[in-house]
Structure 1
């Protein structure tokens, strides 16, 4: 019997994360001889716009305990306000192509991270399709191919975006938080583009909560995976965190997960081992996750729908 897979999904949010964090992650994964999925933000870096989130409950607490300025850098936090917003896809296409050429899986995170994360939940079909088309077109321009995987910025989606998954050519997605792979059900219709949800908490959700520090966060995560999951796990890391200051933590995790018996890989590793028709169907709902402000897309109750998209 094959060991379950623990898939490594890298969300790349910013220009700095792409230029500095991504190459460090590539080198680390190569050293550990593991595949991973890199999901890129492909348009403008408007990170500075996120300052409006200061009015959200819990946001300032998160900023304090996760050292946002230290991880993202002051320059990045001024993009779109006091500094112009750089076009990530134009400035960092070479880095993205190098990831693909090294053999790693590449996919789409978003066109504009802040715009998507802050507006997609209530957006209409036209706005949603335009944002997704910008991302898919830029991906094709950079890589000369259609993206097969999408992982939503901030785990924020709407029904229009989920329904577009198949028509835009995605073979599988990782847009939600949950416990196991499933086929999403939207408005009573099953979408035959499987979701491989993030199953484990992220470092920024753990650090600063319940006595967790950068020094013991790896131990806390490894404790959560000690009982091996039959359906595997998806761990979301960030180029701006694990690719920079938290790189030593990532090294501990990769060694620890191997010692626990997991096969480390990319989302495509999970997809290759999954029979589409055998997947359960689940509604998608919005809910909260400990350590993260606001609500996000989560795996909801099982559905008995038989309608197909």
Structure 2
């Protein structure tokens, strides 16, 4: 059966508290599996205001109604309001996801700090951030994590090396067309990358006449002819777990009608021939619908 893996990025306190339980309920109702990647430290979403100077950032904000999805309070965390510690306040919710039978993994410790800084940081900074996330994950779940999905698809060479050193079974830090073994400046990193292969809803809505009402049809058109290695779709607890849940339900129903088995990232990995994965160089590149550069497989 064709497989489509669902990767849930959980960026904020509000997304964890409100979006995650809603997504668990809808996934169970549709007999779909998924992997939830949690932000485990403080919510400093308000500090993203610094991105206003990036090309394309204001356009994306205006297209996707950030205030509507995230709420005023979230957009003040880390500036005018103290950012709540997501891992401390929402540990029970995170464990409940595992207890409902869903895979969990690390998204980051501090989402804004990782997304806005990691590309230019050294090995010491990168290892400290990852260790904070790993230690908090162990504190919450009582076991070591086995998977990572980088905040904002932002990585550096040191972070990729850490995926191997930490013994992760896989990582999903990149955008691309198929699973691969990553290289960085020709250095091989022995940890499979399962890249996001489809555009996200916030990259599509507001472009070329695409609305929340018809975006599902656009994505389903992309999956109508299956890839030989299936697909990975990234959703966000703040979006598909909130105002855009009707579109997400349309996607779930549409993918099942197209014959896809909706699986977790681990199930997707288990369906691959790990020994036959191609090597792909990772580089920072722009992609349509997002501001700045992302880790992309070449």
TM-score, normalised relative to structure 2: 0.99
Q: Which residue of 1 aligns with 2:273?
A: 275
Would you say the 8 A contact 1:146–1:169 is kept in 2?
no
Secondary structure in 1 matching 2:50: helix
Secondary structure in 2 matching 1:73: helix
Cα deviation for residue 188 of structure 1 reads 2.3
Q: Which residue of 1 aligns with 2:88?
A: 90
Matches within 5 A, 1:169-248: 169-248=167-246
User: Structure 1 residue 21 and structure 2 residue 19: aligned?
Assistant: yes
Q: Which residue of 1 aligns with 2:59?
A: 61
Match of 2:43 among 42, 45, 53: 45
Q: Which residue of 2 aligns with 1:157?
A: 155
Q: Distance in 1 between matches of 2:275 and 2:226?
A: 24
Cα deviations across residues 73-106 of structure 1 (Å, max 9, x unaligned)?
A: 0000000111001100000000000000110000
Q: Distance in 2 between matches of 1:195 and 1:4?
A: 19
Q: Distance in 1 between matches of 2:89 and 2:281?
A: 38
Q: Distance in 2 between matches of 1:93 and 1:167?
A: 26
User: Structure 1 residue 108 and structure 2 residue 106: aligned?
Assistant: yes
Cα deviation for residue 189 of structure 1 reads 2.5
Would you say the 8 A contact 2:42–2:110 is kept in 1?
yes
Give the number of equivalent residue pairs: 298
Would you say the 8 A contact 2:184–2:283 is kept in 1?
no
Cα deviation for residue 187 of structure 1 reads 3.3
Cα deviation for residue 186 of structure 1 reads 2.2
Q: Distance in 2 between matches of 1:289 and 1:235?
A: 16
- What is the Cα-based RMSD across aligned positions, in Å? 0.7
Structure 2, unaligned stretches of length 5 or more?
A: none
Q: Distance in 2 between matches of 1:170 and 1:17?
A: 25
Would you say the 8 A contact 2:281–2:297 is kept in 1?
yes
